[in-house]
Amino acid sequence: MTQEKFANRIAIYPGSFDPITNGHVDLIKRGIRLFDEVIVLVAYNPNKSYLFSVEEREQFIREIFSDNSGVRVDSHSGLLVDYLKSSGASVILRGMRAVSDFEYEFQMALMNRRQTREVETVFLMSGFKWFYSSSKLIKEVASMGGSVKGLVPENVHRGLMEKFNRRTGSRV
Ligand code: PNS
């Protein structure tokens, strides 16, 4: 079966990306097979405090997708629906891991839709390999010296080691 695109559609993939993980990377790569452009949006979640600055998070993503013209990286500190309106996009792309993600994602999708009927949230199931991993757990494990190799891209791995003052070659 051929992969049919949503005709001329831009999808916004918003998130904290603190930091971007291999699970996010997998989702972006799959998203780009469905949409003409995926804007990876480093957005502000007022319920979180961040390890990496917005600039650092954007930089990681830019480096990872430097060869992919279908991926754009941006940041936004206001309401997601306002960014959507100004960008001309009408699709929000989100990943769904386990059942535990469902309630949070469902609430956000409906709240965004309540604000503008122009938006649809499209969910992709998380890749099987990444089902259990999250930025939060990765940071926790890395901060205590555990191994997160293979769960994050190389540049993020280096960034984590620097943040937690660990040397290359340490378990992290
Ligand atoms: O990776 P996260 O933290 O789960 O992503 C959540 C995020 C950043 C997408 C969400 O908090 C968001 O949309 N923030 C922008 C502000 C906004 O529009 N809030 C209302 C969401 S219904």
Are the beta carbons of 58 and 75 closer than 8 angstroms?
yes
pLDDT in tens, 143-166: 999 999 999 999 999 999 999 986
Nearest-CA residue for ligand 1 atom 4 is 15
What is the pTM (predicted TM-score) of this model? 0.93
**Active site amino acids:** 24, 48, 97, 135
Give CA–CA dist 136/52, Å, rounded: 12
In degrees and rounded to multiples of 5, residue 126 shows phi and psi of -60, 145
SS3 35: coil
Residues in the chain: 172
Question: Cβ < 6 Å from ligand 1: which residues?
Answer: 14-16, 43-45, 48, 79-80, 108, 111-112
CB distance 134 to 21 below 8 Å: yes
Place of tokens 């901060």: 143
Low-confidence ranges of the chain (pLDDT < 70): 1-8, 166-172
Tokens read off for 159: 């960034």
Which residue ranges form the domains of the chain, and what is each CATH number? 10-131 (3.40.50.620)
Q: What is the pLDDT of residue 5?
A: 54
DSSP structure string for 135-169: HHHHHHHHHTT---BTTB-HHHHHHHHHHTT--TT
**Identity at 47, one-letter amino acid code:** N
**16 CA → ligand 1 middle, Å:** 8
Cis bond leading into 19, ω under 30°?
yes
Q: What pLDDT is attached to residue 1?
A: 45
What is the pLDDT, as a whole number, of residue 100?
A: 83
Say how far apart CA 123 and CA 31 lie, in whole Å. 10
Residue 157's pLDDT is 97
Tokens 């757990």 belong to 137
